[in-house]
Amino acid sequence: MEYYQMKQRQSLPLRAKIVLSQQRIKSWYDYWHGNVYISFSGGKDSTVLLHLVREIFPNIPAVFVNTGLEYPEIVEFVKTIDNVVWLKPDMPFNKVIEQHGYPVISKENSQKINEIRNTKSEKLRTTRLEGGRNGNSKLPDKWKYMINAPFKISDRCCHVMKKRPVKQYEKKFGVTPFIGTMAEDSRLRSTAYLEKGCNAFDALRPVSMPIAFWLEENIWEYLKSKEIPYSKIYDMGYSNTGCMFCMFGVHLENGENRFQKMSKTHPKQYDYCINKLGCGKVLDSIGVRYTPLEEDERPLFDLGE
């Protein structure tokens, strides 16, 4: 798919997107003879995905990975959904960061820092430091100082905590997933959509992303127009409801960031994250403030709206 084609699909009205998504869902279900499941995180995107799929195929199971890093409000919401399989990772988060490293900056850049530090291939190390044919292969100069950070850095957290349990589930039951990711979420997801489209039948790990061309505004319009319940975490000011202690992208957040919010809404988890897990020192290293904003520091309005 060309970039302009993706932008055209993203600009379609919601009613047209629903029809297209339903077509992708039916194609995926038929291709795999119903041996499918819904990857369900409890977030707003996967809540829409769940509704879309089950309107057509109401008995498809949802799979939720209870990593121990979810917001309590997410876990409570998932408990209200029928026919959900609960999985757990085989390693807790504190062991993941001890063995592999902290998730910081982004998946791409954490991977590059880890490779520069640990690879035995001088060619790969040179590529990560100086670049190669692929313009995205180089660690940006602004983050090169993190190579010498006094703690481990890695992108392996998501693999261990989420991907590994679901891949084991897929192998055991011979099923393929519907996933609620959208191209607008990140450059990596946009690239994946351009390369594979909604239904990646021939990928090493086949996945269906039937709402990949939706936008966040479509998600909210769908939820509200159909009066679909969603986790109350969104009514507490959070827009990113992934793992509570994940630091990917926090340096890009304007105003009160996720950790500053957490200090007020979930003080016990905040203390554990910042002090006991050591995320405070990591945030210090990238210049991200995590202490609460004072009243006179808060913006009078949201510049993003």
Distance (Å, whole) CA 52 – CA 76: 21
Distance (Å, whole) CA 154 – CA 90: 18
Distance (Å, whole) CA 70 – CA 78: 11
Q: State the pLDDT at residue 239.
A: 85
Q: State the pLDDT at residue 304.
A: 41
pLDDT lower than 70: segments of the chain:
134-136, 295-305
Domain 3-93+157-236 matching CATH 3.60.15.10: the answer reads no
Q: What are the extents of the domains in the chain?
A: 3-93+157-236, 104-153, 244-287
Q: How far is CA 9 from the centre of its chain?
A: 22
Which pair of structure tokens corresponds to residue 238? Answer: 């959070």
pLDDT in tens, 4-44: 999 999 999 999 999 999 999 999 999 999 999 999 999 99
Q: State the pLDDT at residue 296.
A: 43
Answer yes or no: are the C-beta atoms of 184 and 215 closer than 8 Å.
Answer: yes
Q: State the pLDDT at residue 186.
A: 83
DSSP reduced 3-state for 37: strand
pLDDT in tens, 225-270: 999 999 999 999 898 888 999 999 999 998 899 999 999 999 999 9
The bridge status of strand 207-208 relative to strand 199-200 is antiparallel
Distance (Å, whole) CA 233 – CA 217: 17
User: Is pTM beyond 0.75 here?
Assistant: yes
Q: State the pLDDT at residue 1.
A: 83
Q: State the pLDDT at residue 297.
A: 54
